[in-house]
Structure 1
Amino acid sequence: MMSEIKQAITSAIKDAMRAKAKERLSVLRMVTAEFKRIEVDERIELDDARVLAVLDKMTKQRRDAATQFTDANRQDLADIENFEIEVIQAFLPQALTEEEIHTLIREAIASTGASNMGDMGKVMGIIKPRVQGRADMGAVSKLIKASLQG
């Protein structure tokens, strides 16, 4: 069964073509090309969880590039990256608030009985599927570390 998010992106491509929104269409095609590359390389059909992981990774790559372009005084290129982020994020679920992330971390620590940094992997294993595409994993990781170091 095709991922719902992939279907939404496919129909967004058709809408962008009708609207002659060249820049948006280009970003959406880039996203579907990445899905296709993974499906061919790994001989799988992407499910929603994997699609979210791919979109999340693409957003992070663009955020990093935008930061580098801004630091290099290339705002024109940073603006392109930021536009791509906007288009991609439209297909990601609503971002979690910091309070929601803290609550998930507390629940994961309680359910795993985690008490020190050695338990970091257990906590991440529970949290990652719940926050994928809804929060920056790097920031979540830092919050988990801070909680475990207490």
Structure 2
Amino acid sequence: MTTLKNRLQEDLTAAIRSRDELRSSTLRLTLTAITKEEVSGTSARELSDDEVQKVIAREAKKRRESADAFEQGGRTESAARERAEGEVLAEYLPQQLSDEELAAIVDEAVKEAVAGGAEGPRAMGAVMKIVNPRIAGRAEGGRVAAEVKKRLAAG
């Protein structure tokens, strides 16, 4: 079993013992999503820590989107609950890049892509191919794409 999945299960046990309903339900749902991912496909397999992290990131993104939808629908209690669950999941994700760090990585990638001959709309794809491995889950895709578009428009 992966160390991240182990940590989730140990934290779930601790949350249940301390009667922390928010934490235990969030971890339970996340572990269910991980198990579902493990048994999907042609054969069951164990996920690596990176794959578990991607599942957690996907679950955290769902919570953010749900919170926004609840907020727009005027359901502030539900939105607050979703945000709180997102904060629990954030503890298991790598530290997010600041705007300055993201801008520096994107600037460097734009220079590399332009030096490689990319220009116009195709430059977006070339830059994203360079940026994505460097960011590795430390920034949301939409945020990265927006920064790349901004840098290409300015540049």
- In structure 2, distance between residues paired with 1:35 and 1:44: 11
Q: Which stretch of structure 1 is more off in the superposition, 26-35 or 112-121?
A: 112-121
Higher gyration radius (CA): 2
Q: What is the CA deviation profile of residues 79-108 of structure 1, one whole-angstrom value per residue up to 9, with x for unaligned ones?
A: 110111011111011111111111111222
Output the CA distance in 1 between the equivalents of 2:112 and 2:2.
30
1:8-19 superposed matches below 5 A: 8-19=7-18
Taking structure 1 as the reference length, what is the TM-score of the superposition? 0.87
- Counterpart of 1:136 in structure 2 is 140
When residues 55 and 146 of structure 1 are mapped into structure 2, their CA distance, relative to the original with a 3 A threshold, is same
Report matched runs for 1:10-49 at 5 Å.
10-42=9-41, 43-49=44-50
* Aligned positions, number: 149
3-state secondary structure, aligned to 1:73 = coil
What are the residue-to-residue correspondences of 1:1-150 with 2, within 5 Å? Answer: 2-42=1-41, 43-112=44-113, 113=116, 114-149=118-153, 150=155
Q: Sort the Cα spacing of 1:89 and 1:81 in 2 relative to 1 into closer, same or farther, 3 A.
A: same
Q: Percent identity?
A: 34
Amino acid at match of 2:34: F
Secondary structure of 1:139 counterpart: helix
The structure whose RCO (Cα within 8 Å, separation 6+) is larger is 1
Deviation >3 Å, runs of 4+? none
Structure 2 residues without counterparts, runs of 5 or longer: none
Instruction: Tell me the TM-score normalized by structure 2.
Output: 0.85
Residues of 1 paired with 2:72 and 2:105: CA distance? Answer: 34
Give unpaired runs (5+ residues) of structure 1.
none
